[in-house]
Amino acid sequence: MTQQAPTQTQRDSRDHSGAGPSLQATQEQRSHIAKVESTDPGTITIENLEAYYGNFRAVAPVTFTIPGRKVTAVIGPSGCGKSTFIRCLNRMHETVRGASSRGHVLLDGEDINGPKVDPVLIRRKIGMVFQKPNPFPTMSIYDNVASGLKLNGIKSGRPMNEIVEQALRQAALWDEVKDKLKQAGTALSGGQQQRLCIARALAVEPEVLLMDEPCSALDPIATLAIEDLIRQLAPDVTIVIVTHNMQQASRVSDMTAFFMMNEQRSGELVEYATTETIFTNPADKRTEDYVTGRFG
Amino acid sequence: MALSAADFNYRRRKLISAVMLGAAATSAIGMIAVLFLILGYVFIQGGQAIDFAFFTELPRPVGQEGGGMANAIVGSLIVLAIAGVLAIPVGFFAGIYLSEYASTTFAGAVRFVIETMAGVPSIVIGIFAFVLIVRPMGTYSAIAGGFALAMIMIPIFARAAEEALKTVPFSLREAAMALGVPSWRIVLRVVVPTAGPGIITAAMLALARAGGETAPLIFTALGNRFWQEGLTSPIATLPVQIWEYASGPYADLHRQAWAGSLVLVAMTVGIIGLVRLLYRGTSFRQF
Ligand SMILES: Nc1ncnc2c1ncn2[C@@H]1O[C@H](COP(=O)(O)OP(=O)(O)OP(=O)(O)O)[C@@H](O)[C@H]1O
Ligand SMILES: [Mg+2]
């Protein structure tokens, strides 16, 4: 492309150019982006969010609403910015050196990127589960679950034993570990460790739980256990899950967001709709190609 | 049948591999042999000289046989304790700074200072402590000796602690961050405990290293043929006492110097053994 500055009409004619945060581009994108009206607690409204590593724009402006108390899946080819995107939702993105983001992320109407907002407090409301289970190796199972409260010196009204038990029950791990709470968290199996990490995230009673490929290090049985768990949690917590597994996305999620890289290698939101629509009747050809496995 | 090129290549590689393995094994055996020679010699010579009195009695007046180095053994422990009290907190925080705040300019300055300190010959550190502490105090002392040994320990400990802290996987810091834990508390409550055995090891190795230093103590602790009279007066230490006895003309004192060497070597080997034991106990799975 030799042109320096495309005119507005040219820009409009190019589909999903991602050439910049111009209003036209955003509106065009929205055509395949479902409008979600949600007033449930834990609703996340994303407005023109973009993410950078230095000068490299990893996520082009995205605008959509993640409904509260539902499961939203984020899918897309490797490197399209899924991890970067969800790490912007609890301000973990900015902990990477040289990384920055622009735009707005509203949790129940409040901008988490606001000037007076403490990112540390945001992360207590928006928890995160990582790809690889990462329990604290120096802590017992019990202490791992309690760590969010203990490390933050939070005095909850309820006794700690009760909180730990409830979190472990929510994470479907209680029966397996109730007799060995004093043992090291790292002595559990991979799948149990991941559920321990989920329990640890739940113990601080977050509004939202972000999960970045939480099952990719697990076997199929452990994966199913986590999927069950996600379905059970949904009425209480908003869940955003990144996954490469199409079946998983279709099994666990209510809404699905499909990301893809544009010509500038920035990730952009191609389509956002109910999971059923994405998998049975996608509006965008690229979504269809991706979910049917024609590329990936 | 003629050898194919691939066969030939394979044989050549096997030959090179065998030669390299042989060279590596020879140097390893050579090193172990030297170590055992030194240890063996010290154990034989020291073993003949050492007796119960060595641990319980003061040195006898020159010319009289017998006596021991009880004061030097105790003195070494005192000076090392002072050095540890001074060096461990400083080295600990320097190590944290180096590993956790490595990107700041101040960390660059800290690293420069520590690397320079590590490169300064120990005799120069002794002179430094002499000028800084012995002169103003007007006397050689346990404190000055401890200070000089601390100067030697700090860079060793700080860098070893930094290495230990760096082995803590980033995923653990991330996990704590995602729980909304402030960064300084992540360091103190997650990173430091996880690196705990490594940090303790670092401290013990630094102590073992400082415990054998002689040069910096000559200018600071000086030596004492009697029990020390508190921390602000000259104090006997094992390395200095060994050095004095060994450089004198008396056969009985040579004998005692060997006994002292044996005690010193046993202390070092003991610490390293303890460190090994500690490391064996900490094989947690890293994620
Ligand atoms: N720390 C970083 N510094 C610089 N660039 C990065 C960094 N992390 C990711 N990127 C780049 O940002 C883009 C998006 O990466 P991201 O990890 O978000 O992709 P992803 O969709 O999660 O991929 P995957 O499915 O493989 O996990 C990629 O081009 C990647 O190279
Ligand atoms: Mg990813």
What is chain A's percent helix, strand, coil content, to nearest 5? 35, 25, 40
CATH of the domain at B219: 1.10.3720.10
pLDDT at B284 over 60: no
Q: How confident is the model at residue B103 (pLDDT cuts 50, 70, 90)?
A: confident
Cross-strand bridge partners of residue A260: A268
CA B11 to ligand 2 center in whole angstroms:
45
Reported as a pLDDT band with limits 50, 70 and 90, residue B280 is: low
Judged against a pLDDT cut of 50, whether residue A23 lies above it is answered with no
Inter-chain touch A136–B180, beta carbons under 8 Å: no
CATH of A8-16+28-135+206-291, one of 3.40.50.300, 1.10.1380.10, 3.40.50.11540, 3.90.1580.10: 3.40.50.300
ipTM field = 0.82
Kindly identify the ligand whose nearest atom is closest to the C-alpha of A97. 1
- Closest CB from A97, A124, A186 relative to B103: A97
Cβ-Cβ contacts under 8 Å, A130 against chain B? 171, 174-175, 178
Least Cα distance to A266 among A8, A16, A14, A88 occurs for A16
Give the one of B172, B180, B196 whose C-beta lies nearest to A134's C-beta.
B172
Q: Which of A110, A64, A111, A56 is nearest to A84 (CA)?
A: A56
CA A209 from centroid of its chain's CA atoms = 7
Distance CA B16, CA B14 (A): 6
Of the listed ligands, the closest to the CA of A60 is 1
Choose the weakest-confidence range: B4-8, B23-27, B215-219.
Answer: B4-8
Burial label for A100, CB within 10 Å (0-12, 13-18, 19+), is middle
For residues A238 and A211, is the Cβ–Cβ distance under 8 A?
no
DSSP state of A257: E
B18 inside domain: no
The total number of structural domains that make up chain B: 1
Query: Which distant-in-sequence residues (6+ apart) come within 8 Å of B243 by Cβ?
Result: B214, B218
**Among A193-197, B223-227, B272-276, which is the least confidently predicted range?**
B272-276
Residue with the two structure tokens 């346990």: B142
Report pLDDT for A39: 84
Can you tell me the distance from the alpha carbon of B146 to that of B157, in angstroms, rounded to the nearest whole number?
15
| Residue B171 forms contact with A (CB below 8 Å) | yes
Residue B172 domain boundaries: 70-254
**Min Cα–Cα distance to chain A from B286, Å:** 8
Q: Tell me the ligand closest to A94's alpha carbon.
A: 1
What pLDDT does B65 receive?
83
Shortest-distance Cα residue to atom 12 of ligand 1:
A58
- Closest of B153, B150, B143, B148 to residue B234, by C-alpha: B143
What are the chain B neighbours of A201 within 8 Å (beta carbons)? 178-179
Q: What percent of chain A has pLDDT over 90?
A: 73
A186/chain B closest Cα distance in angstroms: 7
Give the chain A residue nearest B193 (alpha carbons).
A138
| pLDDT of amino acid B76 | 94
If you measure from the C-alpha of residue B124 to the centroid of ligand 1, how many angstroms do you get, rounded to a whole number?
A: 51
d(CA A30, CA A270): 9
Residue A234 alpha carbon to ligand 1 centre in Å: 27
From CA B6, how far away is CA A220, in angstroms rounded?
A: 43
Mean pLDDT, rounded, of chain B: 90
At residue A221 the predicted structure's pLDDT band, cuts being 50, 70 and 90, is confident
Q: If you measure from the C-alpha of residue B173 to the centroid of ligand 1, how many angstroms do you get, rounded to a whole number?
A: 19
Q: Quick count: other Cβ atoms within 10 Å of Cβ B61?
A: 8
Evaluate whether B256 touches B267 at the Cβ level (below 8 Å).
no
Does the CA dihedral A125-A171-B185-B156 come out positive or negative? negative
| Atom from ligand 1 closest to the CA of residue A81 | 18
- Chain B residues whose beta carbon lies within 8 Å of the beta carbon of residue A214: none
Distance A119 CA to ligand 1 centre (A): 22
Chain A positions touching chain B (beta carbons under 8 Å)? 90, 92, 95, 97, 120-125, 127-128, 130, 132-138, 147-148, 151-152, 184, 186, 193, 197, 200-201, 204
Query: What span, in angstroms and rounded, lies between the C-alpha atoms of A86 and B15?
Result: 54
Q: Judge whether A172 and A200 are in contact, CB under 8 Å.
A: no
How many whole angstroms separate alpha carbon A284 and alpha carbon A296?
Answer: 15
Pocket of ligand 1 (CB under 6 A): A 53, 58, 78-84, 96, 265
Q: Which residue's alpha carbon is nearest to atom 28 within ligand 1?
A: A79
User: Any idea which of A22-31, B2-11, B193-202 has the lowest mean pLDDT?
Assistant: A22-31
Domain contains B201: yes
Distance A102 CA to ligand 2 centre (A): 20
Q: What is the pLDDT of residues A8-19, one digit of tens each?
A: 433 333 344 444
Q: Could you read off the pLDDT of A121-163 as tens digits, one per residue? A: 999 999 999 999 999 999 999 999 999 999 988 887 889 999 9
Over residues A47-105, the pLDDT tens digits come to 999 999 999 999 999 999 999 999 999 999 999 999 999 999 999 999 998 999 999 99
Q: Which two tokens stand for residue A188?
A: 């559990």
A-B CB pairs within 8 A amount to 79
Burial bucket for residue B277 (CB in 10 Å: 0-12, 13-18, 19+): exposed
pLDDT at position B174, please? 93
Q: How many helices (H) and strands (E) would you count in chain A?
A: 12, 10
Which mutation among A83, A216, A258, A270 tests ligand 1's pocket best, with the greatest number of atoms within 8 A of CB? Answer: A83
Nearest residue to A44 (alpha-carbon basis) of A90, A102, A100: A90
Interchain CB contact of B222 with A (< 8 Å): no
Q: What are the two backbone dihedrals, phi and then psi, of residue A65, each rounded to the nearest 5 degrees?
A: -120, 125
Supply the residue whose CA is at minimum distance from atom 9 of ligand 1: A84
Strand ranges of the sheet holding A99-107, from the earlier edge strand across to the other edge: A110-111, A99-107, A44-53, A56-66, A267-274, A255-261, A71-75, A238-242, A208-212, A126-129
pLDDT given for residue A18 in this prediction: 41
Contact A237, A207 (CB under 8 A): yes
Which residues on neighbouring strands pair with residue A105, listed in sequence order? A46
Residue B226: its pLDDT value, please? 87
B25-34 long-range Cβ contacts below 8 angstroms, 24+ apart: none
Q: Exposure pattern of B205-224 as b/e (b: 16+ CB <10 Å)? A: bbbbbbbebbbbbbbbbbbb
Going by alpha carbons, the residue nearest to atom 30 of ligand 1 is: A79
Tens of pLDDT, residues B123-136: 999 999 999 999 99
* B188 interfacial to chain A (CB closer than 8 Å): no
Q: Tokens at residue B137, please?
A: 């105090």
> From the list A127, A137, A151, which residue is nearest B185 (CB)?
A151
pLDDT computed for residue A267 by the predictor: 94
Residue B271, in any domain of the structure? no
Q: Do A137 and B181 touch (CB under 8 A)?
A: no
The pLDDT of A274-293, averaged and rounded, is 93
